[in-house]
Amino acid sequence: MNKLFLSVCAAIAIGFASCSSDDSTQDTTETPDTPAKNDTIAITAANVRDYIVDANATDETVALFYNLKKLSANSFAVGQQDAFSSFYKSDNSMSDIKKTTGSDPALLGSDFMFITDKQNDGTAGNWFYQQEQTIIANVKAAYALGMINIFSWHIREPYAEDHFYVSEMTAEVKAKAFKSILPGGENHEWYKKKLDKVASIFSSLKDANGKLIPVIFRPFHEYDGSWFWWGASFCTEEEYKTIFKFTIEYLRDTKGIHNVLYALGPDNSYDTEAKYLSRYPGDDYVDILGMDNYWDLRSGAGQTGANLANKKLQIISDLAKLRGKVAALTETGYEVTPSTSPVSGWFSNYINYVMTANHVELAFVMFWSNSGDNYYVPTPSNSNASDFKTFTDKPGVLLQNELSNLYAIQ
């Protein structure tokens, strides 16, 4: 069940996404929150706390931000969602990336979906609680290896709590679900209880020495689409900003969580700076400027799609330089199934180009999870394994065994 839900997330998102315009002219309209052009910020060990969301973050969390910013100047980390729990052909002897390359990924993606599910009763025999314990164990294992941890959240709507895709909801629930969790809304207290659970997980993530493990949190992702109940068709720009700000303030200020970096994760529709900033909650609430993109890298898109994806990443890379933030390709992939063949050179040509062309500075790329007979990252038995290996062998493409210590400022 876990693998099924997580595997379909990207596929359905692709089906609902629409390709953005290939107009190369960027809208350079500046908002009051936009720094002057060419005023690139240099992040140093002395000033780094001035540019992160949580000025009281643990030293290790601050170091993670600093080192992600530093490594993005000439390299990027490669990760996968559920790398330690979802596998091609159910072969869980090691991560699929390690099977192919000899190293684990540099980044592990996890999800709060089952952790905050209404059926998680916290008892040892409960399937959802077992998933919670597995996720916690995987995060700790990844950190022990020096990897980066990032969480997304496929939170179910607040009424029946059965779905996160609007295609499975009634018109009434679609229309009022998001608005109901805003401050003053009928389900705002419900949302706070969900955040209480999230906070309890963050505070439970400790290493062997009892120190808090830094993580990245990417709530309400792909909000520019309309496949999730928090999507653009179901809330205004200001309402989205309100809940994003509330989420950070509640975790940081009310619950005292100080081991989290916060990522913004829209889908690929933003092809100008002004559009990207339209739902941007502000520099005080975002550490990592992200973008998910499957559509521009779909079968048949070829170099044209790669050019378009790179152009969009240039936008967030430039914004990150101007605002003292980190930029990343927070989710992508091309799913190979028994009836869908790999795209030749998808990793070594297209993804490598997307992540490096035109001097973009991106800290990481995360591929979606493998599951059953379907995969986003090949294992040695798959025909595109050599393509993935060629990609990861390129200079500046980092797996776990190539990471320096990300949790201390050198």
Extract the tokens encoding 237: 């720009």
Residue 226: alpha-carbon gap to chain centroid: 18
Alpha-carbon torsion angle 374, 380, 386, 391, nearest 10: 70
Q: Is 407 helix (H, G, I), strand (E, B) or coil?
A: coil
> Three-state SS across 267-300?
CCCCCCHHHHHHHCCCHHHCCEEEEECCHHHCCC
Q: Kindly state the tokens that stand for 357.
A: 């062309």
For the question of residue 168 being annotated catalytic, the response is no
Residue 295, C-beta contacts closer than 8 angstroms, at least 6 positions apart: 14, 17, 18, 19, 267, 268, 301, 305
> What is the C-alpha to C-alpha distance for residues 392 and 58, in angstroms, rounded to an integer?
31
Beta bridge partners of 110: 151
- Indicate which residue of 60, 132, 157, 222 is catalytic: 222
Q: Give the Cα separation of 257 and 216 in Å (integer).
A: 12
CB 64 within 8 Å of CB 406 = yes
Q: Write the DSSP string, 152-164.
A: E--PPPTTT---S
Torsion angle defined by CA atoms of residues 154, 159, 161 and 163, in that order, rounded to the nearest 10 degrees: -60
Would you call 59 helix, strand, or coil by DSSP? helix
Annotated catalytic, 335? no
CB contact at 8 A, 361 and 72 = yes
Q: How far is CA 76 from the centre of its chain?
A: 14
User: Residue 164's closest CA among 150, 174, 175, 179?
Assistant: 174
User: Residue 151 is encoded by which pair of tokens?
Assistant: 């969480």
Main-chain phi, psi angles of 367, to 5 degrees:
-90, 150
Residue 375, beta-bridge partner list: 336
DSSP designation for 228 = B
User: How many other C-beta atoms are found inside a 10 Å radius of the C-beta of residue 171?
Assistant: 8
What 3-state DSSP class applies to 276?
helix
Task: Give the other-Cβ count within 10 Å of 304's Cβ.
Answer: 12
Residues catalogued as catalytic: 222, 331
